[in-house]
A and B are shown apart, each in its own frame.
Chain A
Amino acid sequence: MRVPMTWLREYVDLPADVTARDLASRLTLAGLEVETVDALGADLQGPLVLGRVLEIEELTEFKKPIRFCRVDVGAANGTGEPQEIVCGARNFSEGDLIVAVLPGAELPGGFKIGARKTYGRMSAGMICSATELGLWEDHTGIVVLPEGFGEPGQDAIGLLGLREDVLDIAVTPDRGYALSMRGVARDAATLYGVDLHDPAGIAVAEPTGEGHPARIEDPALADRLVLRGATGFDPEAPTPLWMKRRLHQSGVRPVSLAVDVTNYVMLELGQPLHAWDRDRLQGTVTVRAAEAGEKLETLDHVQRSLDTDDIVIADDAGAQAVAGVMGGLDTEIGLSSTAVLVEAAHFDQMHIARASRRHQLSSEASRRFERGVDSAVQAAAATRAVELLAELGGASVESAWTHVTHPAADRTITMRASHPGSVAGVEYPEGTAEKHLRAIGCTVERDGEVLTVTPPTWRPDLTDPNDLAEEVIRFEGYENIPAVRLSGPGRGLTDSQRLRRVFGRMLADTGHTEVLSYPFVGERDLEGLQLGADDPRRDSVRLANPLNDEEPLLRTTLLPGLFKTLARNVSRGLNDVALFETGLVYLPSHNGNAPILTVDRGPTAEEIERVDAALPHQPRRVGVVLAGRAERDGWWGQGREATWADAIQAARDVARVAGVGLEVEAAEHTPWHPGRCAALYVRVGGERVLAGHAGELHPRAIQAFGLPARTAAAEVDLDVVESARAEVRAPEISTYPVATQDVALVVDAGVPVGALSDALAEGAGDLLESVRLFDVYTGEQVGEGRKSVAFALRFRAPDRTLTAEEAGAARDAAVAVAAERTGASLRG
């Protein structure tokens, strides 16, 4: 809502020294957020004066006709002699009153005016168009002022109102009343404690008889319809300058007098109006629901298929307007209309909101109706409009007019007088609530501590005691609410929340950089991952309105986002990249749609369960992707490339910080390299549960995402890892000496080291403290298809120093199990 200050001051007795900025900051604190204060014409500098065209000499030797004018500018040019000005416009005659800007002046946009030679003549200034003056958009020629507007030489800046401060207010959805000068004026008057002159308070004479026939088919669609006629209207009558200027300053394009008047009254009172060409209307005006299959071509030349939920204004020929949204083309007021029927109605908010959304049509009217229009202002608004048509367009106002009403009962709210104070945490003086509620138009009755409040017809948003509390608090000043510290009974983060922080810290400390990629993916990503036709990861949640039609799905794996981010880094010359992301993936539950529950009471456990069952399963994952060097080259020597092993180690580290052991096993799982992929398992209550995969990526996936060769990745389900956590019991620390035994075992090359290590650990028994692989050898000495694997075993007893025999026996037992399980033999 754009509010010119001089217009507003017509309705509020604001002190003269209150500037637009002062008012803006008060309104903003009170809930009408002034986004900007436009100081129109602030950069305008005179001399800018009225002038009378004395003589026009047509210059014909140029490509376009040019006029050399002598203009009377009174004494404004210092000499009193006529001013000589070259002008390219042709819409004026000798004797016309125009606006001339003289040398030394500056027009909006830093346009400096001087005397200069043009078209072979000296031109000392310029005759101005409305656009050049910032009045309104008009490229058809210069401004010709009506006779009697003023005298040559008079300053035009003041006369034309070229300097104006305009407040631009972002109106919240609850404050429909503030989409009018009247509503803003009321808040301003309340804030400053000054008088309000309500523009809706005009005298409206009772109708002298029936006006145009009309009816409302269903009171649920509209509860008031007013039609007022004006005849003998001059369709060529111009809109006066002041009205055009105000419309332009308010952001509304001037069109024609009849349309401008309806817009002007809408800005003034907040009531959208429609001006019908009465001669084109056939029979009774009916407010009804659109019929199935009904069509209407609206003012914007769009043929619209109406919905049976749309409200229409119809005549006997059919729908003529989508009520509260946009008028129809057929009955539009035209350049020949002399009989005007002004319609003012109060339509149901929700119907208009739905229609506006359905037709993707947000108009000045729909914005107001869906936020709530005064349900009693229609007669005043229609009357104001026809009176303006009479005054400015020579029409006669018909004294018989139509008023159809189905008034709703008054709503009352009861509230304790102290309620606003107890919401704010401030003790307001006795009578505070009544004072402010009355100022905004409420009727307030007090019975002891209880107030019975009837909100005014223009405040449909006031329905609950807290709405009233807000009104009281905002006029008492939100800024005056004190700050009081409080503290809750919380017991800190949960184990799970603390653990999640640790995952991230650990990965960052081991060289990985966290990214937060978008969860949107497309078919192409799933193809890039080389997923099979029935891979469960293809089963995705789909968005009805994705930002990008190529990416309508939600991720079922973190990998695509990580791959793209990795590729972006590489494209920026960052070649050694290790990334990680923790976030949710979305796995459809296929349990139907989520029901919309009631809001009158809390839901039952069963209801919540039904809602939650419909939601996708959303486990938390961590993904890691690595490319380039894991260790750099340097003065210490060669670095090394990141490999499949780094990816698996990242997964092991994730489990380790959770205190969970990870079982690693070879697996084939896209998008990983089939020979370099590990499946990762944890034990949950004795059961082995898949927690994720890690390894080097498949060359085809690498190609699809444009990744560096040998890029490695891991993805682990953190919820699964967390579920495998067990309470840590303190170990008993033996202070007896350690006995170390190294064994080198020869096995088939295909035997996984993990299996060998597990077998040794199991065979070694309780005395084993640790088993660690320290060498893998393949070569001639062990023979084709074989490998030698060397482990360091450490033995220790809790209660004694182990003898060499005891340690040896434990080692032999370990080797025996390894031999039995894997066919291993002791080397050499």
Chain B
Amino acid sequence: MSAPNSSYDPVEVTPLHPDEVARMRDEALSAIEAAGDLDELKEVRLAHASDRSPLALANREIGALPPAAKADAGKRVGGARRDVGQALKARQAVLENERDERVLVEERVDVTLPWDRTPRGARHPLTTVAERMTDVFVGMGFEVAEGPEVEAEWFNFDALNFEPDHPARTMQDTFFVESGEGGDSGMVMRTHTSPVQVRALLERELPVYVVAPGKTFRTDELDATHTPVFHQLEGLVVDRGITLAHLRGAIDAFVGAVFGEGLRTRFRASYFPFTEPSAEVDMECFVCRGASVGDPDAPCRTCSSEGWIEIGGCGVVNPRVLRAAGVDPEQYSGWAFGLGIERTLMFAHGVRDMRDMVEGDIRFSSAFGSEI
């Protein structure tokens, strides 16, 4: 760069002459205009807007001018460079648009082509329905309790007030475990999830609010409506001042969450050794809502035109059960329920044959995906 020279005549510096600046600018502008594609424009940018372009070189000369002349020359050259820059940017935008319209159209693909290279899997709908049922109660402040599937008879029967020879005990169609050393093993495959009630009461601090989803076993042959291995969701609340009205509230919340709001429920007096009083729980048929009752022209397959669907059993925890679990029945009361998970799936999703849930045909589970 030249040093400032006060006697230097700016007019004598050819590159900074107004005509010369205008010529360089016009030359650049017409080159920009002539650029036919982005590659050509790139070359034009190198020739007319880079550090080595005529205008850039002229700009360098400004430093050598006397102070009085600098401003004028700077304005002139700067204006020309700005014009060139703007023209470049404008031309760039035009050319990019042209390219996009042409190239991106050429790159069009068929987006409807499948990309199912890896097959999809699925969880079993009984698993997801059980989780969904569980979560309704978790949302109400219940925790999830667990117990073994091969269970001690004491937990499965005795502690639940099934007396040794009472018909209720034989009605359960129990799988008994053979003893390895003679006599009765004292073990069974649990016939219901209710032994978890006793375990929960023994393991946890009061009050207890738990649900226990799990496998249960009875000696029924597999057919359209029976399976020797099935699933239940047990519920148990033991606290002070607990009543059947709270039980009804919890059941209603469950039915509302899983089958739809506004469905009526009803309790029917029944019998279970571990609850007293006991009740069966029916919910209004969510398909016909009772309209099929007594109307032979519009039978309902879901409820067999009964208007009600049985979804489980429940009742007030028998004080004998509390006592066997070390809870003082004078201080605490509670209730328990057992809901069928297969039944819930069958009703909620129209499964017609129990065998579909058992056989493991991938087409069955795939229809449900990973979440219900």
Q: Let me know if B7 is at the binding interface, CB within 8 A.
A: no
Give the contact-size bracket for chain B: 35 or more
A637 to B114, CA, bound (A): 12
Q: Let me know if B92 is at the binding interface, CB within 8 A.
A: no
The residues of B that contact A118 with a CB separation of less than 8 Å are none
Q: Let me know if A110 is at the binding interface, CB within 8 A.
A: no
| CB-contact partner of B150 in A174, A482, A554, A572, under 8 A | A554
- Given A513-B362, A602-B323, answer yes or no on A470-B209 (Cβ-Cβ < 8 Å): no
Q: Let me know if A545 and B176 touch, CB within 8 A.
A: yes
| CB-contact partner of B268 in A33, A578, A597, under 8 A | A33
- Given A473-B244, A514-B127, A596-B154, answer yes or no on A632-B202 (Cβ-Cβ < 8 Å): no
Q: Let me know if A288 is at the binding interface, CB within 8 A.
A: no
A776 to B64, CA, bound (A): 66
Q: Let me know if A542 and B178 touch, CB within 8 A.
A: yes
The residues of B that contact A174 with a CB separation of less than 8 Å are 271
- Given A543-B175, A568-B361, answer yes or no on A507-B154 (Cβ-Cβ < 8 Å): no
The residues of A that contact B209 with a CB separation of less than 8 Å are 488-490
- Residue with the highest number of chain B CB atoms closer than 10 Å, among A31, A514, A541: A514
Q: Let me know if A516 and B126 touch, CB within 8 A.
A: yes
Q: Which of B144-191 contact A (CB under 8 A)?
A: 144, 148-155, 158-159, 161, 163-168, 170-171, 175-181, 183-187, 189
Q: Which of A579-634 contact B (CB under 8 A)?
A: 579-580, 583-584, 586, 588, 590, 592-603, 608, 611-612, 614-616, 618, 629-632, 634
Contact with B along A696-708 (1 / 0, CB 8 A): 0000000000000
In the complex, how many angstroms separate the beta carbon of B256 from the nearest chain A beta carbon?
10
In the complex, how many angstroms separate the beta carbon of A391 from the nearest chain B beta carbon?
35
| CB-contact partner of B366 in A172, A370, A473, A513, under 8 A | A513
Contact with A along B322-362 (1 / 0, CB 8 A): 01111100000100000000000000000000000111111
Q: Which of B66-112 contact A (CB under 8 A)?
A: none
The residues of A that contact B333 with a CB separation of less than 8 Å are 423
Q: Let me know if A634 and B170 touch, CB within 8 A.
A: no
Q: Let me know if B266 and A29 touch, CB within 8 A.
A: yes
In the complex, how many angstroms separate the beta carbon of B160 from the nearest chain A beta carbon?
9
In the complex, how many angstroms separate the beta carbon of B192 from the nearest chain A beta carbon?
15
The residues of B that contact A546 with a CB separation of less than 8 Å are 175
| CB-contact partner of B138 in A493, A543, A608, A636, under 8 A | A493
The residues of B that contact A634 with a CB separation of less than 8 Å are 114, 116-117
Instruction: Given A482-B245, A488-B141, output 10 extra A-B contacts at Cβ < 8 Å.
Output: A33-B268, A470-B276, A492-B138, A493-B138, A514-B121, A554-B150, A568-B361, A592-B181, A596-B154, A639-B117
In the complex, how many angstroms separate the beta carbon of B365 from the nearest chain A beta carbon?
5
Binding site for B on A (CB under 8 A): 28-31, 33, 172-175, 350, 353-354, 357, 370-371, 422-426, 464, 466-467, 469-470, 473-474, 478-479, 481-494, 497, 501, 504-505, 507-519, 541-547, 554, 565, 568-569, 572, 574, 576-580, 583-584, 586, 588, 590, 592-603, 608, 611-612, 614-616, 618, 629-632, 634-636, 639
In the complex, how many angstroms separate the beta carbon of B186 from the nearest chain A beta carbon?
3
Q: Let me know if B267 is at the binding interface, CB within 8 A.
A: yes
Q: Let me know if A599 and B159 touch, CB within 8 A.
A: yes
Q: Let me know if A547 and B268 touch, CB within 8 A.
A: no
Q: Let me know if B120 is at the binding interface, CB within 8 A.
A: yes
The residues of B that contact A469 with a CB separation of less than 8 Å are 276-277, 316
In the complex, how many angstroms separate the beta carbon of B322 from the nearest chain A beta carbon?
9
Q: Let me know if B175 and A599 touch, CB within 8 A.
A: no
Q: Let me know if B167 and A547 touch, CB within 8 A.
A: no
Q: Let me know if B289 is at the binding interface, CB within 8 A.
A: no
| CB-contact partner of A31 in B115, B148, B158, B269, under 8 A | B269
The residues of A that contact B186 with a CB separation of less than 8 Å are 593-596, 611, 614
Interface stretch of the complex, out of B22-30, B32-40, B54-62, B247-255: B247-255
Q: Let me know if A489 and B141 touch, CB within 8 A.
A: yes
| CB-contact partner of A574 in B151, B153, B362, under 8 A | B362
- Given A602-B202, A635-B113, answer yes or no on A596-B252 (Cβ-Cβ < 8 Å): no
A491 to B205, CA, bound (A): 14
A-B pair count, CB < 8 Å, reads 316
Q: Let me know if A611 and B155 touch, CB within 8 A.
A: yes
Q: Let me know if B177 and A543 touch, CB within 8 A.
A: yes
The residues of B that contact A467 with a CB separation of less than 8 Å are 276
Can you list 8 pairs linking A and B with CB atoms under 8 Å apart?
A: A173-B166, A173-B168, A505-B123, A508-B370, A590-B180, A593-B181, A593-B183, A596-B154
| CB-contact partner of B363 in A509, A574, A592, under 8 A | A574
In the complex, how many angstroms separate the beta carbon of A703 from the nearest chain B beta carbon?
21
- Given A29-B268, A483-B249, answer yes or no on A423-B150 (Cβ-Cβ < 8 Å): no
Residue in chain A with minimal CB distance to B184: A593
Q: Let me know if A497 and B168 touch, CB within 8 A.
A: no
Q: Let me know if B116 and A515 touch, CB within 8 A.
A: no
Q: Let me know if B229 is at the binding interface, CB within 8 A.
A: yes
Q: Let me know if B179 and A615 touch, CB within 8 A.
A: no
- Given A464-B319, A508-B370, answer yes or no on A599-B158 (Cβ-Cβ < 8 Å): yes
Q: Let me know if A484 and B118 touch, CB within 8 A.
A: no
- Given A569-B361, A576-B119, answer yes or no on A424-B150 (Cβ-Cβ < 8 Å): no
Q: Let me know if B237 is at the binding interface, CB within 8 A.
A: yes
| CB-contact partner of A423 in B120, B152, B243, under 8 A | B243
In the complex, how many angstroms separate the beta carbon of A453 from the nearest chain B beta carbon?
15
A186 to B268, CA, bound (A): 18
Q: Let me know if B278 is at the binding interface, CB within 8 A.
A: yes
Q: Which of B264-286 contact A (CB under 8 A)?
A: 265-271, 276-280
The residues of A that contact B358 with a CB separation of less than 8 Å are 516, 518
| CB-contact partner of B370 in A370, A497, A505, A614, under 8 A | A505
Q: Let me know if A596 and B158 touch, CB within 8 A.
A: yes
A508 to B131, CA, bound (A): 15
A492 to B152, CA, bound (A): 28
A474 to B277, CA, bound (A): 9
The residues of A that contact B114 with a CB separation of less than 8 Å are 634-635
- Residue with the highest number of chain B CB atoms closer than 10 Å, among A354, A469, A490: A490
- Given A488-B237, A490-B209, answer yes or no on A509-B276 (Cβ-Cβ < 8 Å): no
The residues of A that contact B360 with a CB separation of less than 8 Å are 513, 515-517, 565, 568-569, 579
Q: Let me know if A509 and B271 touch, CB within 8 A.
A: no
Q: Let me know if B142 and A488 touch, CB within 8 A.
A: yes
A593 to B184, CA, bound (A): 7
Residue in chain A with minimal CB distance to B369: A508
| CB-contact partner of A370 in B167, B202, B228, under 8 A | B167
Q: Let me know if B297 is at the binding interface, CB within 8 A.
A: no
The residues of A that contact B252 with a CB separation of less than 8 Å are 483
The residues of B that contact A572 with a CB separation of less than 8 Å are 361
Q: Let me know if A464 and B140 touch, CB within 8 A.
A: no
5 cross-chain pairs, A with B, having the tightest CB-CB distances, nearest first: A602-B326, A488-B209, A425-B243, A425-B245, A31-B269
Q: Let me know if B277 and A547 touch, CB within 8 A.
A: no
A515 to B158, CA, bound (A): 33
Q: Let me know if A516 and B362 touch, CB within 8 A.
A: no
A601 to B202, CA, bound (A): 12
- Given A466-B276, A599-B161, answer yes or no on A485-B202 (Cβ-Cβ < 8 Å): no
In the complex, how many angstroms separate the beta carbon of B298 from the nearest chain A beta carbon?
18
Residue in chain B with minimal CB distance to A171: B271
The residues of B that contact A630 with a CB separation of less than 8 Å are 118-119
A600 to B327, CA, bound (A): 11
A510 to B163, CA, bound (A): 49
In the complex, how many angstroms separate the beta carbon of B239 from the nearest chain A beta carbon?
8
Q: Let me know if B326 and A601 touch, CB within 8 A.
A: yes
Q: Let me know if B302 is at the binding interface, CB within 8 A.
A: no
The residues of B that contact A172 with a CB separation of less than 8 Å are 270-271
The residues of B that contact A489 with a CB separation of less than 8 Å are 141, 207, 209
Q: Let me know if A490 and B324 touch, CB within 8 A.
A: no
Q: Let me know if B295 is at the binding interface, CB within 8 A.
A: no
- Given A464-B276, A544-B178, A614-B186, answer yes or no on A504-B171 (Cβ-Cβ < 8 Å): no
A30 to B270, CA, bound (A): 8
Q: Let me know if B246 and A484 touch, CB within 8 A.
A: yes
The residues of B that contact A425 with a CB separation of less than 8 Å are 243-246
Q: Let me know if A354 and B165 touch, CB within 8 A.
A: yes
